[in-house]
Amino acid sequence: MPKGLQGFQKGNKFGLNNKYNIGKIPWNKGKKGYTNKRKGFYKKCPQCNKEFYTVKSLNYKFCSKKCRFPNGYKILIKCNNCNKNFLRWKNLIDKRKYNFCSTICQYEFYSKLYIGRFLGEKSPLWQGGKNNHKYGSGWTKTLKQIILRRDNYKCRLCGTPQEECIKSLIVHHINYQKKNHFHSNLVTLCRICHNKTNYNRDYWKNYFINKMEVKNARIQSQIFK
């Protein structure tokens, strides 16, 4: 067999370091550019003061993982909230500004840190003390339930019942005045029909007024029969 093919015999599929290559001479040994070992240097471990060999490209600081992580892969640190000692992964300590032993300590710390920071005039959404409650104090859940019950839990425009709707039915203001909570000004609509009423408001206003007048006249005729 030629000298250059000794390292590539049948069965030697996994390189020169497997069990088939024990005792074999590398094909390039003695030739120019062959190095049996990467050039490196000896270094002292700061944990155990033992000398170990390392390569410049790797430049290890410790001789082993035991010296690098004396408490395992976790480091003993203090909680920023309760000052309790606990173990934390080293890579997480470097990434985070504050470290906590539990989620309870985390919530307590941040609630103290940010309390009052974004309230009132300090808030970026501050509008000069303007009241955003458009509907007034009379707009309650009980009022909505009364209107829904009156309309038999159905959309007054398309007739879709609550069971067939993906989301809950909406109580709509006919004249678009949010503080006018008279029963004659309220009507039940589904989400799709409610989106339609945002356009051509004059048309929908007259449409629902006429519809409510017809319904009220029908109710009165049944009462005074």
Q: Which residues of the chain have pLDDT under 70?
A: 1-26, 28-39, 57, 70-72, 116, 125-133, 213-225
Kind and range of the H or E run holding 44: strand 40-44
Q: The tokens of 212 are what?
A: 């409510």
The Cα–Cα gap between 147 and 186 comes to 7
In this prediction, residue 10 carries a pLDDT of 45
The Cα–Cα gap between 139 and 136 comes to 6
Cα 187 from chain centre = 38
Query: Which residue, among 155, 161, 149, has the nearest Cα to 196 in the 3D structure?
Result: 155
Kind and range of the H or E run holding 208: helix 201-223
In this prediction, residue 22 carries a pLDDT of 57
Q: The tokens of 134 are what?
A: 């458009």
In this prediction, residue 122 carries a pLDDT of 75
In this prediction, residue 121 carries a pLDDT of 76
Q: The tokens of 164 are what?
A: 């067939």
Q: How many CA atoms lie within 13 A of 147 on its CB side?
A: 24
Domain ranges across the chain: 1-36, 74-114, 141-215
State the greatest distance between any 2 C-alpha atoms of the chain, in Å, as a whole number.
120
pTM exceeds 0.85, yes or no: no
In this prediction, residue 219 carries a pLDDT of 45
